[in-house]
Chain A
Amino acid sequence: MLEINNIVTGYGDMKVLDGITLSVAEGETVALVGSNGAGKTTLLRAISGLIPVWSGNITFNGQDTTKLPAHELPALGIAHIPQGRGVLAQVSVYDNLLLGAYIPSAKSRREESLKEVFKIFPILEEKKTHLGGSLSGGQQQMLAIGRALMSHPKLMILDEPSLGLAPIVVDSVFKIIKDISAQGVSILLIEQNLVEALAVSSRGYVLETGRIALQGKSADLFNNDAVRAAYLGL
């Protein structure tokens, strides 16, 4: 469903990604791992159109999205949860969620979507009048995911959902990601937490300074010594 073909991009005149080819199939969960500065976040931003792609192309469900303005991508079914969760801190939880259903296709059924999200995350209903920024880290992550669900995405892109969360909260976040995936939503995930990332995904890519160093089944990557070495230096 998502096909990335040999893309090169960066910031200003600084090249960050040097020919990345990657795909995510329908219903699949794919993990993207690699050290800081390898270009993981840049790749996600390129997919979402937040930075221009220098060369190569990206297609989503057969449609070339390389040159589309970023704000048109959510309507195609891509929901991007940026690093740091992307919760609007000055906006109430309720309005955050409504904004998740800003695109026309989601707007018409946003009342029922809201009910579904509140069913998954009862805490959000409890706190719906609170400002996004007043929530705890874990609640913010739930809000970010809940808001993405409001748009009924076909592909959800998550940038380090476990960042700065307590281990117990991380567990529940990954459980939710698994549930979402079980409903048929494709997921592309960046994660430092190697075990969790490879546990929820079926395939993974290891990014190393702008290139794909390794790829394969998550289980294989999990037992790969090179991957462990990259993370622990052992």
Chain B
Amino acid sequence: MKNVKMIALICGAIFALGFPLVVHTSYYIHILFMVYLFAALGVGWNLIGGYGAQLSLGHSIFFAIGAYVPVLLMLNFHISPLIGGIAGIGLALLAAALIGLPCFRLRGPYFALATIAAGEITRTLLLHFQGVTGGANGLPIPFHGDDALNLQFSTKAPYYYLALTLLVVVFLLVRYLEKEKVGLYLAAIREDQDAAESLGVKTMHIKLLAFMLSAAIAAAGGQIYAFTVAYIDPDGVASINLSIEIATVVIVGGIGRLWGPVLGAAVVILLTELTNIYLGAMRSGASLGMYGLLLIIVILLRPDGLISLFDRFDPELNKKGSK
């Protein structure tokens, strides 16, 4: 069994690394780019939403910060997005702390509602301060030729590898944390917050930590997205729909499971793209509607996510219980 897993992993790696070398259609590369991006966002969201069971519906805030900050710094002050990105992540960490501190006192639907409100405030502000953000018109990033320092490339492949790198880094980070103190503490919080407290777990600290980490990941994703599509606007990067899409990827794949968001992103993105191909030309709304439909179907039929379909093939899991 272990061998099968290993072989699958190696094949996956070869496929992922080699894909842009073999396939040059930028549309296909873009689809995989989106899969990696959403998988990374999902793995990050899972930290707080899955392992910690705090249903955040405001992750678009951090995605938007990660997108707007480096773009604004580059357009206005010619600061390289490599530095701007760090500023974006820093600001996202700060925002997460500011939002998390009061919000984590709330439980259940109240927390979700508060994050929605915070997300809507962010979007409204981005729309309002047109002078800086371009308002609803958004900000196009003019192309000045290949320039790695400014994250500008004439082909899709470099962005593809950026997203892939983000996914791998985030995945390995979360895989490490899962087995460490933070991961175990988050699991305790998810299971029973009062009991966790009684065992000395400072639940507020742990939730904040997970939320901030997850926000930083969303910000990194936002930056990569912004420079890949070379255009940002509040509806694209700060809408509640984006927050829901991130959550959907995780739910569909398997909440609180390491591979869940990866599987979820693959299924959701591919299905929505297929919908676009077959229905998109004549009908708008089809691909987003697919998110809704998938969410409903998975919640009703398989609340543990699609990844749970593979559980029966994993003898280790069956022996040791949930991982």
The answer to whether A and B touch directly, with their CB atoms under 8 angstroms apart, is no
B interface vs A, CB < 8 Å? none
